[in-house]
Chain A
Amino acid sequence: MDLSLILSLFLSGISTGMIYALLASGLALIFGLLGVINFAHYAFIAVGAYVGLEVMQSLGANFWVALVVAFVVVGLLGALVERTVISRLYGESPVVSLIFTFGLAVAVVEILRVLKGTAFHHISVPTALTGAITTAGITFPHYRLFLILISAALFFGVWLFLQKTTVGLIIRAAICDRGMTRALGIGVSLAFMVTFGIGLALAGIGGLLIAPMTGIFPEMGAELLIICFAVTIIGGMGSFMGALVAGLILGLISSFVTIFAPQLAMVSIFIFMALFISFKPEGLFGEVGRVD
């Protein structure tokens, strides 16, 4: 196997892995603060893609505007969902929230089917990102390169938001000790709403970002979410770093397996996960019992 092939497989694994990391970081953010494992993530991945599709088709906007709109609309939807139903689950066991958000996901996906049908929609990559770069003997699509950059930008944008802003400070404080933060007279419930909104906004924009590769249909997020769960199982449930590292590992595994045995690409992710938890059940960064 020559070096250029390895390099191109590596890049393609990184681009897939960054998408996993982006979606898993939304899960990690929501779990870290709210103690909610959001099964509904997959429904909002599809909602984001459909919002983008609608903006591009009905309003004639370009892909870039659609990305922003998907992020904002799904984020606002998330804030609404948090206020109306998710807020009733605080203090419950994460498993309860898992079952509840599963019900929510099933309902939202069915609503998507009612509104948009089950047809498969295709959106194309914006013209600025078509084509591929060829250097050092490798050919790599522009769009995949763009995916790496934008996922990394979003990922570190959220990280900066948490580290450098006042709202981020409140969120981090509330993750550490919700009661004490509230006792200091800081409105924690706003932080909850913002966090859930951001988590879902990441799912929404992620959905539109992968849409040119997977197509748009109501269950498009499901397989992706199950892989993201594998990411969180390996990386630890509330861990940002875990989401990034485990996401990249799984992306690279599926990319390298594809070249040897394409039919095993998906299976290999789960086999790796099974082996991993057999030998290291506590995950990479997670504390055992954090979600138990």
Chain B
Amino acid sequence: MLSAFRKVWATNVNKSIIVAVVLLAVLPLIPYVPYAIAIDVLIFGLLALGYNIVQGHMGQVSFGLAAFFGLGAYFAGLFAYHVDIPSSAAWIWLILSVAATGVVAFGMGAVVLRRRGAYFALTNLAFLQMFYYIILQLKDITGGDDGIWGISTPTFGAIQLTPMSLYYLCFVVFVVCLLLMKRMILDSPSALVLHAIRQDEARAQSLGYNVYGQMLKAYTLSGVFSGVAGAMYFLEMQYIGLSYLHWSLNGEVIAMVMLGGSGTFIGPLLGAGILIVLKDVVSMYTIHWMIIVGVLIMVVILRMREGILGAFKSLRF
């Protein structure tokens, strides 16, 4: 048992994951940390980690990631609103919502991955805006501009959704996603191909790897994890609205990822934690906290491109 633990503890990535999971397990027990903030750290941490598959691991910046967060929330919300879901099917409901998001991510990825670099980033943004307008116009189904308030969600078996049980529900989902992500993005053979593509796409192609296929897989995965985050966010808010698909959300998440360190595995989670707490503190004094996001992005680009964890290059988080 102990030797098994030592083996796991051996790498810095594993260490940082274990520390993060332990910290998150006790986060809401810390006085002065409200459940709402703790849940946001989990949800936006997952979103930032999921998005970083595209930015950090695949090496492409996307300005359309909010699409999958928003669609995850909308699918979950619309299923719950239009279909009467029995308590026993609650997990199936969540999985279906995420799967639907994954299908959209696959289709969108198939188109946007025809371009790279800035074109990729902007094509993603254009797609996000397309989904935004579609949801805006499907007023009868989605509530349009107003969104839909107070959608009752199914309970998960005997669990009543109190802030605490919701936190630990999200926590379990988060940990499962984190481990899955590590397995698929760091430890698998195709992860190595992905990292080779990031470093030199032409070379990976010339070695015979299916570059487009690997990137599409990574892109879809990123969409799926963002969709999970969106579905959890719906569970917390019990509301769906267009703000979930607003392009400014991309900026917040990119700020989180770059602050924590896009070249690291766990960095985006740290960035999400810092930004959410910062936002909470600042919003006590002013509603103009977006200024912080903007300035933060500029400072990170000019002064600390690697982010906080990325600055410790030798440690390889």
A binds B: yes
Which residues from chain A sit less than 8 Å from chain B, CB to CB? 37, 85, 88-89, 93-96, 98-100, 102-111, 113-114, 222-223, 226, 229-230, 232-233, 237, 263-264, 266-267, 270-271, 273-274, 277-278, 281, 289, 291-292
Q: Please, could you name 22 A-B residue pairs with CB atoms under 8 Å apart, sorted by A?
A: A93-B117, A94-B118, A95-B118, A96-B301, A98-B121, A99-B258, A99-B297, A99-B301, A103-B293, A107-B291, A107-B294, A110-B288, A110-B290, A222-B247, A226-B129, A233-B119, A266-B129, A270-B129, A271-B130, A277-B123, A278-B114, A281-B115
Given the known interface contacts A102-B254, A270-B127, the answer about A291 and B118 at a Cβ–Cβ threshold of 8 Å is: yes
Does B117 lie within 8 Å of A291, measured CB to CB? yes
Q: How far is A226 from B288 in the complex, measured between Cα atoms in Å?
A: 23
Given the known interface contacts A274-B127, A291-B117, A292-B117, the answer about A232 and B302 at a Cβ–Cβ threshold of 8 Å is: no
Shortest beta-carbon contacts, A-B, top 6? A103-B297, A107-B294, A106-B294, A270-B130, A292-B117, A110-B291
In this complex, the interface size class of chain B, counting residues with CB under 8 Å from chain A, is: 35 or more
Which residues from chain B sit less than 8 Å from chain A, CB to CB? 61, 63, 111, 114-119, 121-123, 125-127, 129-130, 133-134, 137, 247-248, 251, 254-255, 258, 288, 290-291, 293-298, 301-302
Interface SS of chain A: helix, strand, loop or mixed?
Answer: helix
Q: How far is A95 from B301 in the complex, measured between Cα atoms in Å?
A: 11
Q: How far is A113 from B286 in the complex, measured between Cα atoms in Å?
A: 12
- Chain B residues lying within 8 Å of A104, measured Cβ to Cβ, are 294, 298
Q: From B144, which residue of chain A is reached at the shortest CB distance?
A: A263
Q: How far is A110 from B290 in the complex, measured between Cα atoms in Å?
A: 7
Does B133 lie within 8 Å of A100, measured CB to CB? no
Does A291 lie within 8 Å of B119, measured CB to CB? yes
- Chain A residues lying within 8 Å of B134, measured Cβ to Cβ, are 267
Q: From A267, which residue of chain B is reached at the shortest CB distance?
A: B133
Choice from A103, A263, A277 contacting B296 with Cβ under 8 Å: A103
Does A292 lie within 8 Å of B118, measured CB to CB? yes
Residue picked from B130, B137, B247, B251, most chain A C-beta under 10 Å: B130
Choice from B119, B129, B288, B295 contacting A103 with Cβ under 8 Å: B295
Choice from A99, A111, A233 contacting B123 with Cβ under 8 Å: A233
Given the known interface contacts A85-B302, A102-B297, A277-B111, the answer about A226 and B117 at a Cβ–Cβ threshold of 8 Å is: no
- Chain A residues lying within 8 Å of B258, measured Cβ to Cβ, are 99
Known: A99-B297, A104-B294. 11 other contacts (CB 8 A): A37-B118, A88-B302, A93-B117, A114-B288, A233-B119, A263-B137, A266-B129, A277-B114, A281-B114, A291-B118, A292-B116
Choice from A105, A107, A222, A230 contacting B126 with Cβ under 8 Å: A230
Does B125 lie within 8 Å of A226, measured CB to CB? yes
Q: How far is the CB of B219 from chain A (nearest CB, A)?
A: 15
Given the known interface contacts A85-B302, A94-B117, A94-B118, the answer about A103 and B137 at a Cβ–Cβ threshold of 8 Å is: no
Q: How far is A233 from B130 in the complex, measured between Cα atoms in Å?
A: 15
